[in-house]
Structure 1
Amino acid sequence: MREKIIETILNNQDEFISGEELSKQLGISRAAVWKHIKVLKEQGYNIESVNKKGYKLVKKPDDLLTYNNICHELDTNFMGRKIEHFDTICSTNDYAKSIASESLDGTIIISEEQTKGKGRLGRQWHSKISEGIWMSAILKPNISPYKAPFITLIAGASIVSALNKLGVNSQIKWPNDIIINNKKVAGILTELSAEIERINYIVLGIGINVKTMEFSQEISEIATSLYKENYRISRVDIVRSIIVEFERLYLDYINKGLKESTLKICREYSAIIGKEIYILQGDSKELVKCIDINDQGNLVIKDNSDKTREIMSGEVSIRGVKGYV
């Protein structure tokens, strides 16, 4: 009922809607309407109440990552049509995996805080309350398991495309990091449950540092945030834009087998193509030159012997010669 109230208010942002009208539309008493409005105000909605006029949203709630705010005017077919929002959670990926079998394709889990957020290769992802976007999407594509790694590239292309459309000058460090000014602002963690010939589900985790201004000493030289780079952008707009971009590229790949749009974005916004980089694998460290990303989404590199070869995502980590990139 509360969701229907805020949806009605969001759809009438510039006008008052009376308690009587809400009461009639929803089939509840005016006292019940008032109680729901009170809770919505406590949740952070800036709703103005005026006697004999009713209720009106004073300011667009750009920082509340609730279902209603994200889905308001969201132009997608299935992504984000169901969103579970938490104040705090252990890990959005872990929770998504626990409910994935029974969940709708495109379900999104989003939390204001993660107490045990994780990144690639088991690394910890610092996820402080209300400072970022910590979310996971549950996907159930009808593709062979060997095609699943390309989903990570689609996610990277979606994030960088969304951020650049919002005015953020960002790049991709293949395969799963988003970079601003040669520092990491976002990461992607893709986890797969599959049998030999079919995918049960994919959980796509996305972490974006939005408001964080101070980082721990161990990552302060390689991590940044949108606010730290002077980009003041609504978290709601970022999430909504990523969802839209992702669905477009994802459906091209799943339904039509098209990779071109994703690969074009990954190449155009690459932070490493044309550069010398270190390939890290276990204790080994190899200096190579990054040449391209091929049609399978693998990294094409040239080593010191002038030999060209492919690197698959998941095999290695990458570092720049003079820093993170």
Structure 2
Amino acid sequence: MSQQSRQDEILMLFRQQPDAFVSGAEMSRVLGVSRTAVWKHIEQLRTLGYQIEAVTARGYRLRTSPDLLLPAELQTGLQTKVVGRELVYFTDTDSTNDRAHDLAKNGAEEGTVVIAESQQAGKGRLGRRWTSPAGVNLYASIILRPPIAPRYASQLTFLSSAAVARAIVDITGLTPTVKWPNDVLLDGCKVAGLLNELDAETERIRYLVLGVGVNVNMKAEQFPDDLRYPASSLAIARGQEVSRLLFTRTLLEHLDQLYDQYRREGFQPILQAWQGFFALTGRQVEVDCQGRLLQGQVVGLDDDGALLLQMADGRQERVLAGDVRPL
């Protein structure tokens, strides 16, 4: 059992007996380690920000917890069938998507979630960098193995985008909008981005990684100066900090619910959920397709997630990738 696993076991014991003391002897028995080793794990939890009371002859009691996205914390009360059955946690990593790819190639089960407190090489769309300061946001990647052809993989980006938007509504009461193909906005400012990557054969997806980045409690001074578009965070938009634990747990539950619906009913209910947050249908827009500019009216989405534009000459254009700006 790893150090992280033993700390998770200690936290689970505290969660099972809230406000009660748990004896060092019981912890020693459950973990299969000495009382001295238990004390060392308690000290390590304290360095993470857990306030743990110790009383001679009574044991240890958890008083308060930090807002860390530890597996033991996230799985407390988590109501999911698939997403989050396995949680892999890093205090720091290069990219949660890269770590998820490694795990998926080695047989990680569907629904495995990789979470980091910070990233050194967070990924955005089109090779852009996702700024990832420690302890304030959500950086997560979810491994899925959907029984669909690779050409439909982009549908899962709309699923994760709708899940993020629903979680924002539930936790903050704010009303987000979604920007095709993979951004979530508040008051016109980006608060979340989704990055869908896959490993596939010609007609079969081996696995798909849903990368999710949400600016939860990021402060204005933490955003880089060279952002392409205005950005914000849930805390800035709401005017107060948001529990990262509660938000992440809620998001995983929405992802699980929508993925279950997708497996049973297909893309149409997912598209409808996404369109409930999409404000550009019927609007004139300009789309920058990596230097090629298109202007037209948004008439909807194709079944593979392509944006459908009605052009001035009457023809319809399918756009698979690009940056959209309303006119």
| TM-score, normalised with respect to structure 1 | 0.90
Q: Tell me the CA shift for residue 295 of structure 1.
A: 4.9
Distance 1:20 1:98, change over 3 A: closer
In 2, Cα distance between equivalents of 1:188 and 1:179:
12
Question: Does the alignment pair 1:147 with 2:152?
Answer: yes
1:8: Cα distance to partner?
Answer: 1.0
Residues 246-300 of structure 1 show CA distances to partners (whole Å, capped at 9, x for unaligned) of: 111112222x243343222211111322332211113222232223335553333
Deviation (angstroms), 1:144: 1.7
Matched residue type, 1:184? K
**Greater CA deviation, 70-79 or 151-160?**
70-79
Q: CA deviation at 1:38?
A: 1.5
Alignment counterpart, residue 205 of structure 2, candidates 199, 203, 210: 199
Alignment of 1:18 onto 2:23 = yes
Picking from 273, 284, 290, the partner of 2:292 is 284
Q: CA deviation at 1:140?
A: 1.5
SS of residue paired to 1:227: helix
Q: Relative to structure 1, is the Cα distance of residues 55 and 142 closer, same or farther in structure 2, using a 3 angstrom cutoff? A: same
The alpha-carbon deviation at position 308 of structure 1 amounts to: 4.1
Aligned position for 2:184: 178
Within the candidate set 109, 112, 115, 1:107 is matched to 112
Moved over 6 A (4+): none
Q: Match for 1:73: what amino acid?
A: G
Decide which of 14, 31, 38 is 1:33's aligned counterpart.
Answer: 38
- Indicate yes or no: 2:234 matched with 1:234: no
Shift of 1:110: 1.2
Structure 2 distance, partners of 1:264, 1:56, is 47
CA distance in 2, matches of 1:263, 1:221: 25
Q: Distance in 2 between matches of 1:46 and 1:92?
A: 29
Alignment partner, residue 65 of structure 1 = 69
* Residues 156 and 16 of structure 1, relative CA distance in 2, 3 Å threshold: same
Of the three residues 3, 6, 12, the one matched with 2:8 is 3
- Contact 1:179/1:271 (<8 A) preserved: no
Q: How much has 1:205 moved relative to structure 2? A: 0.7
* One-letter amino acid of the counterpart of residue 77, structure 1: K
Could you list the runs of 5+ residues in structure 2 that have no partner in the other structure?
1-5
**Would the aligned equivalents of 1:161 and 1:265 in 2 still touch at CA under 8 Å?**
no
| Deviation per residue, 1:60-84 (Å, 9 max, x gap) | 44x1111111111111122112222
Q: Structure 1 vs Structure 2: percent identity of aligned residues?
A: 34
Counterpart AA for 2:244: R
Question: Which residue in the other structure is 1:122 paired with?
Answer: 127
Deviations 1:131-151 (A, max 9, x none): 211111111222221221111
Q: Which amino acid is the alignment partner of residue 254 of structure 2?
A: E
Paired with 2:147 and 2:194, the residues of 1 have a C-alpha distance of 21
Deviation at 1:176, TM superposition (A): 0.5
- Choose the corresponding residue for 2:194, options 188, 193, 208: 188
Q: Report the aligned-residue RMSD.
A: 2.0
Residue identity opposite 2:132 in structure 1: S
- For the 8 Å contact 1:267–1:293, the answer to whether it is kept is no
> Using the alignment, how far apart are the partners of 2:21 and 2:313 within structure 1?
71
Does the CA-based 8 Å contact 2:190-2:229 persist in structure 1? no
SS at match of 1:301: strand
Match of 2:3 in 1: none
Moved more, 37-46 or 11-20: 11-20
CA distance in 2: counterparts of 1:198 and 1:223, whole angstroms: 36
